[in-house]
Amino acid sequence: MDPLLATRGPVEAHQAILTSALEVSSSFSVDPSLRGQVLRAHALLSQTRGDNREALRDFSEALECAQKSSNPVLEGTLRVDLSILHREQGKMRESEESIRAAAQMKTASPWFRAYLHGNAGILDYELGRHESAELHYATALNILREIGDRRFEGVFETNLGLLYRDQNRLAEARAHYEKGISSLREVGDRRYEGVSLDCLASTLWEEGRSVEAKVYSQKAVKMLQEAGDRRQSAIALAHLGGVHASLDQLEEARKIFATVEELSSEMNDPVLRAETDLSRGHLELALSRQSRSANDLDGARRLESLARAKLEALSGDVLAGSSDVRVAVRRLSAASDAARSGVNGMGPTPG
C-alpha cells in the first residue's frame, strides 16, 4: 500500500498508514531492517511535505537500523536518500560525502546500483560535471531497462532531459521529458509525472512558448498537489506564476505568488526561496511593460531594476550550484536583457 500512496496520494491516507506502522514497529520486537524500511518511507513522505528536519531524523534512525541488521542494500539506499536530502537544500559537500559512502556498500543488487548511479548523475549534473553525469545516467538507465523498472527509468529519463536543458539543448530535453512522462504514466506514478510535466512546462516557457507552457504547468501543479508533494508543487506554482506574468496575466500571477510565498515561508528550503524570487522577477518585468505602455518610463526602469536585483542577490551564493536556480537565473536574465533593449522577451506569445 505504501508505494501506491507514495506515488498517487492521498497524502493523508499515506501519513496515517505510516504513523500506525511506526507505532507498531516501536511497540513490538520488530526486526531492525523492517523498522528501517518503515522509517525510510516516513522520511520520504516528510521530505515531500517540506519537513526536512523530520526527514533527516527518520533517515538517521533508519540508517542505524540498517547497520544493526547488516543490510547493505538498505544502508546504501539510505545513504543515497541522505545525499538527495542534502542536495535539495544546497548542501553539496554533505551530498557528495553521502554518495561516496553509498558507493562503498558491497552488494550485487542491480536496483541499488541503478539508484546509486542515477543519483550520482544528478549530483554531478548539479555541480556542472556534465560528462560524468551523462555516463552515470546511461549506466542507471541500462540497468533499469534490464530489470524492467519503468518507474525509475522514467525518473532518470527526466533527469537526463534536465541535463540537456542546462546545456540549452532544449529540443533534446523535451524528448527525454516526454519519454519519462510516458514511462511514469504507464506505472501510475502521478507524483513524478507531475515533476516531469513541470520540467516540460519550464522548458517550453524558456523557448518562448508560454501558452503551451501554461497548459502543462497547470497539469503539473494539480498532480503534485493531489499527491501531497508540497515542495515540488510550490516550485511548479512558482513556474506557473512566472508563465502567467510572461503572458501579462498579472492578477493570476499575483495570486499565485502570494500562495507560493506563504508555502516558501513555511519550508526551510533555500532553493524554493530562490526559485520563487526569480520567478517573481517576471511579474516585475510584466509590470514594467505595462508602465512603458502608459509612458511611465521611470516606473518601468524601477521595476526592471527590481527584477535585476534578484539576479545580483544570488551572485556568489551556494545556490548558484543548483541547476534549477541556474536555469531560473538564465531565464530571468534573458527576459531582463530583452526588457532593457525594449523587446518583449518572454512576454505573450501565440499558441
Nearest to 245 by CA among 277, 279, 197, 273: 279
349 pLDDT more than 70: no
Q: Is residue 102 part of a domain?
A: no
Q: If pLDDT is split at 50, 70 and 90, which confidence band does 1 have?
A: very low
Q: Is residue 82 part of a domain?
A: yes
Q: What angle do CA 42, 33, 64 make, to 5 degrees?
A: 75
How many domains does the structure of the chain reveal? 2
Instruction: State pLDDT tens for residues 92-121.
Output: 899 999 999 999 999 989 999 999 999 999
Are 61 and 280 in contact by the 8 Å Cβ rule? The answer is no
Q: If pLDDT is split at 50, 70 and 90, which confidence band does 131 have?
A: very high
Question: Which one-letter DSSP state was computed for residue 70?
Answer: T
Q: Is residue 187 part of a domain?
A: no
Q: Is residue 189 part of a domain?
A: no
Query: What distance in Å separates the CA atoms of residue 270 and residue 314, rounded to the nearest whole number?
Result: 11
300 pLDDT more than 90: no
pLDDT of residue 198: 97
| Among 69, 94, 119, residue at a domain's last position | 94
State the chain's mean pLDDT as an integer. Answer: 86
305 versus 154: the higher-pLDDT residue is 154
Instruction: State pLDDT tens for residues 237-252.
Output: 999 999 999 999 999 9
Query: What distance in Å separates the CA atoms of residue 177 and residue 171, rounded to the nearest whole number?
Result: 10
Q: Is residue 130 part of a domain?
A: no
64 pLDDT more than 70: yes
* Residue-number span of the structural domain to which 261 is assigned: 226-351
Question: Which one-letter DSSP state was computed for residue 319?
Answer: G
Highest mean pLDDT among 9-23, 64-78, 301-315 belongs to 64-78
| Among 75, 94, 113, residue at a domain's last position | 94
Q: Name the burial class of residue 276, with classes exposed (0-12), middle (13-18) and buried (19+) by CB atoms within 10 angstroms of its CB.
A: buried
CATH label of the domain that carries residue 26: 1.25.40.10
